[in-house]
Structure 1
Amino acid sequence: MHESFIETKSITSYWQFLRMINWYEPWLIGLCGFHAICLLIIVVTRGYHNIQILLFVGLLLCIYCAEYINQLAAEKWQLFAEDQYFDSRGMFISTVLSFPVIINCCVIVGIWLYESIYLLKICVKRLKKARIEQHKKTENDDKKKTE
């Protein structure tokens, strides 16, 4: 067994697993920066639906490819990491890639729901205004007929 491998029997909880990760490795800092930049782009482009759709699909493709990324990273980890984190079950890749991407996708969906509710309120107000105007018009017509 390689000296940098972590004995899986020594990990008893998810929090212990997170503590065993060296979060100061440059590629992990870059990955965290990628997630932060994605979140910033999501918030900044909240009014641009086409950009958000492309971002949403791109993020979902990252999740879809996570298994392939995990396999490739498990084979080539010496090129970019100090330790071998990439397990066959995908716990590490799910933690550092898939989970934050899912959070970003949930933020996009939340923005879309908020905008839908806002547009629905505008439509309801317009319908109410149109009904009030129609009601006033019929009252005016009735008054003219009685005169």
Structure 2
Amino acid sequence: MNKPQSTACPCGGKDYAACCGRFIEGGVPAPAADLLMRSRYTAYVLRNEAYLKATWHATTRPAEPVAQDDDMKWLGLDVRRHVPNAEDGDRATVEFVARYKIGGRAHRLHEISRFVREDGKWFYVDGSFPEKT
């Protein structure tokens, strides 16, 4: 019997099911902020509104839809830094660059995201956008 081929994960992992799929479809909470960030990027690629909202902290979660329009095509993710808070371990920042195209034009989203862990689950809080250097 042939083993089915795996599907690459949009975040850059080799196998979606073993990478972000276990969080998005398997219901397993991401054990670290950087893994939650990767799974949220993947959810944007897949336009999984429910997962994006479920992993967004209630105090900052927008009421309007967050998944982008059909004209946007995500191209790749580069996680630059993951900094857990040394004091309590329940806060972290993740710096990343996500590349995408809209209408044939390439763009970059450079963000430093803040995350918080509550009751053992990580949530995206908000992000800042460093100036281009």
CA radius of gyration, larger in: 1
Give the structure with the larger helix fraction: 1
Could you say which TM-score interval applies, normalised by the shorter chain?
Answer: under 0.3
Q: Which has the higher contact order (CA 8 A, sep 6+)?
A: 1
Normalized per residue, the structure richer in strand is 2
Task: Compute the TM-score of the two structures, normalised by the length of structure 2.
Answer: 0.22
